[in-house]
A = this chain, B = another copy of it.
Amino acid sequence: MDKTVSNLPAAVAAIPDGATVMIGGFGGSGAPIELIHALIDRFVATGHPKDLTVVNNNAGNGHIGLAALIEQGMVRKLICSFPRSADPVVFTEMYLAGKIELELVPQGTLAERIRAGGAGIPAFYTPTAYGTDLAKGKKIEEFDGRPYVQERWLKADFALVKAHAGDTHGNLTYNKAARNFNPLMCSAAAVTIVQVSELVAPGAIDPEHVITPGIFVQSVVHVPNPQQEETLNRANAVYSGAVQP
């Protein structure tokens, strides 16, 4: 078994128009910049994929990564908890112009909905958002005298994930707080595509230290020395697709 894919364009080639795509990361930490940019390259060259529903904690920052994906007009709807950042201009402008739809979800509920999608739990109850605008229209049930909000699982067609080390079976580790939503999204997508900074042989990751077992991963692409969103934005980087031959 070998889940590696030889290059970034091949890794993202199968994502169709209209797909729901989970993208890992919390702000820039754990954001799979190179996978996102490969998807932009494909769109610039072919016009696809478009009309994506993207699930991420944020809405991008500056003009690279998720912000660039949105700026290209590839995203129809964003499901996130915090569409603000140091430089949220791309999302803000498109949202206020009515060019992108937003489903705002409290962060812990977002995490739990994704985890539920991966774990086969179609719905659960949480105290979060009870009595607020974000619970409007949702089913309420009392347990032990306290009201809770029913929330549904969240699944995706694809997940784009950034890991630190990965083996050819798809076992993964992460780097520090870059873990965040990534392991959850691996479990909740039909096809999980992972960029790994270090590609290793099976057995090279101690079984005790595996954070995402390979069963949750379909494709692994080696991206040594990945770019960091924060560093790119501090350099005012802009990504608008690779120069096409």
Q: Does A220 contact B (CB under 8 A)?
A: no
In the bound assembly, the distance between CA atoms of A119 and B151 in angstroms comes to 15
In the bound assembly, the distance between CA atoms of A126 and B122 in angstroms comes to 7
Known: A208-B173, A209-B209. A124 touches B127 (CB 8 A): no
Across the two chains, which residue of chain B brings its CB closest to A121? Answer: B124
Q: Does A234 contact B (CB under 8 A)?
A: no
- B119 touching A112, Cβ below 8 Å: yes
**Binding-face segment, A33-41, A46-54, A140-148, A183-191:** A140-148
Interface 0/1 of A112-151, CB less than 8 Å to B: 1000100111111111000000000000010110101000
In the bound assembly, the distance between CA atoms of A207 and B178 in angstroms comes to 13
Q: Which one, B125, B152, B208, B209, contacts A176 given CB within 8 A?
A: B208
Q: Which of A26-66 contact B (CB under 8 A)?
A: none
Q: Which of A119, A122, A148, A173 neighbours the largest number of chain B CB atoms within 10 Å of its CB?
A: A122
The interface residues of chain B lying within 8 Å CB-to-CB of A125 are 121-124
The interface residues of chain B lying within 8 Å CB-to-CB of A146 are 122
